[in-house]
Amino acid sequence: MANLTHKIIEPHLLAGTLTPGEEIALKIDHALLQDATGTMVMLEFEALGLSRVRVDLAAQYVDHNLLQTDFRNADDHRFLQSACARYGIHFSKPGNGISHQVHLENFGKPGLTLIGADSHTPAAAGLSLLSFGAGGLDVALAMAGRPYYLPCPKVLGVKLVGRLPEWVSAKDIILEMLRRYGVKGCLGMVVEYYGPGVTTLSVEDRASIGNMGTELGATSSIFPSDDNTRRYLAAQWREADWQPLSADEGAAYDLYDEIDLAKVEPLIACPSSPGNVVAIAQVAGTKVDQVIVGSSANTGLKDLLRVAKIMQGRHSSPETDFHINPSSRQVLENAIAAGGIMDLMQAGAKIHQSGCLGCIGMGQAPGTGQVSLRTFPRNFPGRSGTKDDQVYLCSPETAAAAALKGVITDPRTLSAEMAYPKVDEPEVRLIDRTSITLPTEETAATELVRGPNIKPFPQLGPLPENLTVKVAIKVADNISTDAIMPAGNKVLPLRSNIEAISEFVYYQLDPEFHLRCRMLGECAVIGGENYGQGSSREHAALAPRYLGVWVKIAKSYARIHKANLCNFGILPLTFKNPADYDRLSSSSVLQLLDIKSRIERGDSEIPVMIDRTVIPTLLEVSTRQRQSLIAGGMLNLVRGELGG
């Protein structure tokens, strides 16, 4: 009686067993890149010395860095396009849409494995792909035909029963999960949804839930492939890609939960964490200055058309800025054909190009002290581009209600003045794939086009036998990769220049961090629980390593960031006794003696000397990760294996 997660893993399993926590190696079918991480992936792939990708399909999307305030983003887009032609990668042009939505529309197939250099890659759960967000180097290695290594996850089976009430949508389901589990309650798990309630959700509903499963700390999420899946693929002119997939009747799960969809209510995540979820009633009446509908977490055409129908014949509040970020050009074209865009424009909405935009801090920053309601997946402090921002996460219905009323409003109250806008899934969609460039054998001779901001991948040395490191910063619980390496239009254009981007490590918390690291030499960072949650961006590991950070000691780590630390030769130690966190300060000097030998022989307990006393720490990594740490990074290790 196999669950769906195991049914997909088993034919892809190259090493290991389905024992939770044991390292497994998976064959990867598809690789996904976006431009904030893709330039580094291309530089890493280039460093491997291979001429073409060795994965069934790789696709590069330009969806994050769309603002061209100077030459750097434009140069990087051209670099990515030339690299795609040379290495055999599909290229989705700027403005064509967000990677997760466009991959659903064009490439996703049930039963495949997908790795993406974006933490929200599990949005592909909507089409029953078992998909993983990962650091860019892991994606580069997958494109080289290497397995993806990860701890075998537990499987949390969530049975969905009933049907959502009017004015409640898929976003409220994942917010209910976040209310139950918080931002780290599903660490090391795949969340598998099953049960009769699943059939009431569209593919794009399921994608929204899978997308934000990342905020639970989950390794991935998955939905079955059923008639709804078939109808979606048929509407995309891809019915031949469909196959039915589901868990066996009575399948076993490591953990169980159940959600009665009929009892789900409109929910909202308050500043500044996706896990800070409350019922709308607790914050209703709060003045709203900005509303943004769109992003990767609410990708669907139905989401957009439902908002358009709510706004039809009405106008947004005069004191509320109302923005629409379509998830893809296809969604925008279909919404235009249905008349929805005219309704939105007449309601005062600003219609933007298809892309991540404000979700990654690329424009759309709210004003000082202003409240912003967004259908986005994240609201980490300062992620919007405004310090001390007040960003709430909500459903499209709740966003539309706030845009109309100018305050946080339970959308169910709109039933007094309008019928709930029901929108059916289209049988056939307008399809335009001309903004995706396909690689050919003839393009393999393409020369890479490098702008002056694209620098070679930095050389990282191997681990020494002994380390003496000074603590450069001590941080609290739930530090995100946004806090370690900010995004936004000031920083992201530097993504292919590690020397330049390293000046922004911990910039929001300590603008002098990079200067102190250069003064100290070899450094350490001390963190709390769930260190490195959020985005998969490997720059949050690579840039600190470039600055001399060799060691991080935390109470616990987010999965992707811990893997990235190992990939770039930073020791991800955890406190054996969490109370020892309080013994360390930003002026502590730490000694790790015989550290290389200890890692080589497989020691799991690593003593750290401070003031002639020992703090016991744990190094809980796989054999392969130990080899990476010794080599000074996975790229050094793999180049050696390839003979480079």
Report angle CA 41, 377, 105 to the nearest 5 degrees: 65
Which residue reads 């899946």 in tokens? 229
Enumerate helices (H) and strands (E) in the chain, giving the number of each: 20, 27
Q: Where is 83: in which H helix or E strand?
A: helix 71-87
Taking Cα atoms as reference points, which of 217, 214, 533 lies closest to residue 377? 214
For the chain, give the mean pLDDT. 94
Task: Name the pLDDT band for 643 (thresholds 50, 70, 90).
Answer: low
Q: Give the pair of three-digit tokens for residue 252.
A: 């076993």
Res 494: pLDDT: 84
Q: What is the pLDDT of residues 189-206, one digit of tens each?
A: 999 999 999 999 999 999
**What is the rounded distance in angstroms from the CA atom of residue 481 to the CA atom of residue 501?**
14
Mark out the alpha helices in 214-295 (DSSP H runs). 227-235
Phi, psi of 130 (to 5 degrees): -85, 110
State the pLDDT at residue 283. Answer: 97
Contacts of 238 (CB under 8 A, 6+ apart): 106
Q: Which residue from 158, 151, 121, 82 is spatially nearest to 437, judged by alpha carbons?
A: 82
Whether residue 644 is predicted with pLDDT greater than 60 in this model: the reply is no
User: pLDDT tens, 75-95?
Assistant: 899 999 999 999 999 999 999
Taking only the tens place, the pLDDT of each residue in 500-525 is 999 999 998 999 999 999 999 999 99
Give the residue among 232, 120, 233, 133 at the shortest CA–CA distance from 174: 120
**In angstroms, what is the C-alpha Rg of the chain?**
24
The three-point CA angle 194-121-48 to 5° equals 135
Average pLDDT over residues 534-548: 91
Res. 386: pLDDT tops 90? no
pLDDT tens, position by position, 63-79? 988 888 888 888 899 99
Q: Does the pLDDT of residue 296 top 90, yes or no?
A: no
CA pair distance 227, 231, nearest whole angstrom:
6
pLDDT tens digits, 565-593: 999 999 999 999 999 999 998 889 999 99
Enumerate domains of the chain plus CATH numbers. 4-263 (3.30.499.10), 267-416 (3.30.499.10), 467-642 (3.20.19.10)
3-class state of residue 558 by DSSP: coil
192, 155 contact by CB (below 8 A): yes
